[in-house]
Amino acid sequence: MHDLIIRQTHMTVPVGTIYCLGKNYEKHIREMGGAGPTPPVIFIKPRTALVRPGGIVHRPAISSEMHHEVELVAVIGKKGKGIPEDEAMDHIQGFAIGVDLTLRDVQAVAKQRGEPWAVAKGFDGSAPVSEVLVRTEIPDPQDLTLRLSVNGKVRQEGSTRDMILTVPGVIAYLSTIFTLEPGDCVFTGTPEGVGPVEPGETIRAEIVGHIAAEWNVA
């Protein structure tokens, strides 16, 4: 169940650690009312957070405000620590579109109390990820349009050109702290337009022109 699917071969890869970068697009930082953090905000979701394309996401009972955050996901294919930025692409097996589902009400309380985001960000189902495109299908990860729709209505649309830390920059930074391993996923931050998604609605996320996936919310 907690496997990534490689689109070209239909092979599955067990998902490893899911790393997420917060606040990597200026306009999203502004909509959240914050300033850009240095160093970047990093958090982790358990592997059990993964939901395959076409799966169902359950909003946990502890929350009444679950937000979508559409993000480019890099899937690690080669183990590394201290990866130089100019070698980072060699460590990426492929790319997917993912949704960093966030319990915004739970997160707000955690922020207020200075507590971790583990519950707000890491609950079961908090990481829907599409099939994975091999890296050669994405010649330039900084030239992609990410889009998220809810019940057919576009809620988020942004370009990876606007990322503050580029994909190789994110990989290089993470690998100064963590050993990245095959199957690990790196969520690279969300553009603006985050908002609530309710039980009964359908989320569609896409890298425009490359891949799309849908999940129903229960």
Smallest gap from residue 164 Cβ to Mg ion (A): 13
Contact region with Mg ion (CB under 5 A), list: 99-107, 124-132, 139-147, 162-170 = 99-107
Among 51, 52, 57, 69, binds Mg ion (CB under 5 A): 69
Among 94, 100, 123, 156, binds Mg ion (CB under 5 A): 100
Rounded Cα gap, residues 181 and 179, in angstroms = 6
131 counts as binding Mg ion under rule CB under 5 A: no
Alpha helix positions (H), the chain: 26-31, 104-113, 118-122, 167-174
Structure letter (DSSP) for residue 52: -
Rounded Cα gap, residues 97 and 129, in angstroms = 6
Contact region with Mg ion (CB under 5 A), list: 81-89, 93-101, 134-142, 198-206 = 93-101
160 counts as binding Mg ion under rule CB under 5 A: no
Smallest gap from residue 139 Cβ to Mg ion (A): 25
Rounded Cα gap, residues 72 and 50, in angstroms = 15
| CB contact burial 163-179 (16+ within 10 A = b; e otherwise) | bbbbbbbbbbbbbeeee
190 counts as binding Mg ion under rule CB under 5 A: yes
Contact region with Mg ion (CB under 5 A), list: 37-45, 49-57, 112-120, 186-194 = 186-194
Smallest gap from residue 90 Cβ to Mg ion (A): 25
CB nearer Mg ion, residue 23 or residue 47: 23
Task: Report how many residues bind Mg ion under the rule CB under 5 A.
Answer: 3
Closest CA to 150 of 57, 80, 79: 57
3-state SS class at 94: strand
Binding residues (CB under 5 A) for Mg ion: these are: 69, 100, 190
